[in-house]
Structure 1
Amino acid sequence: MDPFLVSAHGRPAPVARAGMRVRARLAGASLCAVLACAGGGAAAAAGKVLESQQRYAPTAAQLALVEQYRGAPLEDFSEAVFDAGKTDMPYRLLAPARPVAGERYPLVVFFHSSGGIGDDNLKPMTAFTRLWAAPDVRRSFPAYVVVPQTRDRSANYINDTHGLRVSQPGAPLADVLALVDELMRRHPIDPARVYALGFSMGASAAMDAAVARPGLFAAMVALSGVPPERSLARSVAHVPTLLIHGDYDQENAYVGAQVWAEELAAAGGRPRFITYVGMDHRVPPQLFTDGAWRQWLFEQRKPR
């Protein structure tokens, strides 16, 4: 399913919010306020979930921008293949537009959804991925952006003892992490600013990757994913996390993200949680024009 196709829904089903013990509800607040941009991180004290609601109501201009980038050219994303040992893995890499000698840059690892599985080095290049090559985005957020393509699922789902669907790393996830290590050796990448980003299966894989390598990522943005088993939250509570989910998502349950946010907070974390009211399983087009989430991401650094 293309996460950007617009469809008409009925009214969203009631959402269970049981167990969200600590929250700061900021209904209608701007993304920047929710995310405590520009150094305002103290607004989200350790051990709390900073939660917000946004109405899923994309404008015509936002939808037009999605269509524009769905077919945007890919010449800025170089094609390559990573030798992962038993197999190889195609990937695309976007470099900073005007790199400065001696400077190190962030690395954004883009984990694709199940619709990107294959070996054509093309399916993962959605409109949301291609947006990183937009001139204003490259100018404001210079970084390396890598988009690996796995030939199988990078995250698999099972039910936990509570009957909640949880994620476990798929076999290709180790290859993605090996590619990240290789890129960090070959390019001027700041090890304190490696970020994970993903939608659906990609969000699940991003969270699994953080569990597998808890010291690797400075922050992550997970959209409509299935989190790992809740007891694993304590190992990644220190990783700044932004969870974005539609409360009408019937593919990857909204409640799973709620439980994960609660467990991160219980372990001392400071997760951000943005609910798009009335949205099903998709990336909200609003993220194309509101750069606050990207600003928040790039402000995160691992302690030296």
Structure 2
Amino acid sequence: MKRFLFFSSFCLLACVAFSQDKTLYEKHWYISGNDTLPYRVLLPKNFDASKKYPLILFLHGSGERGRDNEAQLIHGGDLFLRDSVREQYPAIVVFPQCPQASFWSNVDIRYDSAAKKRIWNFPSGGEPTVAMRLLLQLISQLQNDYKLDKHRLYIGGLSMGGMGTFELVRRIPKTFAAAFPICGGAAPATAKTLSRVRHWWIFHGLADPVVPVELSKNMADALVNAGAVIRLSLYPGVGHNSWDNAFAEKDLLPWLFSNRK
């Protein structure tokens, strides 16, 4: 019994510590008219408002949509909280949260009952979704709120956020130094614009039953043909949660921060 109580107490303390760590991400809300975009901000250790810092913007997947300003940290939030990461790569890390009724990308998804599969149509243009419009405005706000190193702004995301990564780069192609979409996709016809961000690392699970791996393969091929420098990591036997593999890549952050615009 004593051993069980000790173990339970240890687990409780670990959970509390975990919860306390997440509170290092400050809660903010960007409001535009009747629309609100919640977002969390992790500042560097010993943050100095007079210094310029790199920015990492990370876009979550569809399952983390909402307005609780919590769920968007489920995948990836822990990575940037590691002491080793914060000490070696001081940066401002931002996790916005897409509203439940919106989508980062304006992709059209329909189900082909004959082929028994989803058909993904990525428009090459068109107006942004509510979430994307708010995200574009938020980026401008962040540039006003903090001293950002304009040569080291980075964007990444998973699933819906991977699609949003491609689309955000298409809409503001001169902004980012590098991008890392995970199990996402976009229209290959947009690759010429996207290649203005020269450095990409694209991730996908070869057994993904939700977002076809061909979407990432097609974008990688199109970006190479457009002159971008591409790293493509495809994981055998891995399903939709290829973000676990991506976050475990020991070269991800060294690669990311080595790129400058």
TM-score between the two structures when normalised by the length of structure 1 = 0.71
Contact 1:80 1:90 in 2 (8 A): yes
Report the number of matched residues.
233
**Secondary structure of residue in 2 paired with 1:275:** strand
Q: What value does the CA root-mean-square deviation take over the aligned residues?
A: 2.4
Structure holding more helix per residue: 2
Greater Cα offset, 275-284 or 242-251: 275-284
Contact 2:49 2:147 in 1 (8 A): no
Equivalent residue in structure 2 for 1:167, among 107, 122, 127: 122
Where structure 2 has 5 or more consecutive residues not aligned to the other structure, the ranges are 1-13, 111-117
Shift in CA distance, 101/284, structure 1 to aligned 2, threshold 3 Å: closer
Opposite residue 98 of structure 2, the aligned amino acid is T
Equivalent residue in structure 2 for 1:117, among 65, 78, 89: 65
Matches of 1:114 and 1:127 in 2, distance apart? 12
Matches of 1:89 and 1:284 in 2, distance apart? 23
* CA-CA distance at 1:127 after TM superposition: 4.1
Equivalent residue in structure 1 for 2:51, among 103, 114, 126: 103
**Secondary structure of residue in 1 paired with 2:26:** strand
Matches of 1:137 and 1:175 in 2, distance apart? 29
Matches of 1:224 and 1:128 in 2, distance apart? 14
Opposite residue 89 of structure 1, the aligned amino acid is L
* CA-CA distance at 1:265 after TM superposition: 1.1
Query: Deviations 1:161-190 (Å, cap 9, x if unpaired)?
Result: xx9624355331111111111111111111
Matches of 2:136 and 2:164 in 1, distance apart? 11
Name 1:238's counterpart in structure 2.
Answer: 196
Shift in CA distance, 75/81, structure 1 to aligned 2, threshold 3 Å: same
Shift in CA distance, 290/262, structure 1 to aligned 2, threshold 3 Å: closer
Matches of 1:182 and 1:104 in 2, distance apart? 15
Where structure 1 has 5 or more consecutive residues not aligned to the other structure, the ranges are 1-66
Matches of 2:93 and 2:122 in 1, distance apart? 24
Query: Identity of aligned pairs, percent?
Result: 27
1:297 counterpart = 2:247: no
**Secondary structure of residue in 2 paired with 1:260:** helix
Counterpart mapping for 1:217-232 below 5 A: 217-227=176-186, 229-232=187-190
Matches of 1:285 and 1:256 in 2, distance apart? 19
Name 1:78's counterpart in structure 2.
Answer: 26
Query: Deviations 1:67-99 (Å, cap 9, x if unpaired)?
Result: 98xx55312100011112331211110011123
Contact 2:201 2:230 in 1 (8 A): yes
* CA-CA distance at 1:156 after TM superposition: 3.6
Matches of 1:297 and 1:148 in 2, distance apart? 20
Opposite residue 263 of structure 1, the aligned amino acid is A
Matches of 1:159 and 1:286 in 2, distance apart? 26
**Secondary structure of residue in 2 paired with 1:124:** helix
Matches of 1:159 and 1:91 in 2, distance apart? 26
Counterpart mapping for 1:195-214 below 5 A: 195-214=154-173
Matches of 1:166 and 1:129 in 2, distance apart? 30
Counterpart mapping for 1:262-281 below 5 A: 262-281=221-240
Q: Between Structure 1 and Structure 2, whose CA radius of gyration is higher?
A: 2
Contact 1:111 1:147 in 2 (8 A): yes
Matches of 1:127 and 1:235 in 2, distance apart? 29
Contact 2:39 2:97 in 1 (8 A): yes
* CA-CA distance at 1:128 after TM superposition: 1.8
Shift in CA distance, 81/100, structure 1 to aligned 2, threshold 3 Å: closer
Name 2:150's counterpart in structure 1.
Answer: 191
TM-score between the two structures when normalised by the length of structure 2 = 0.82
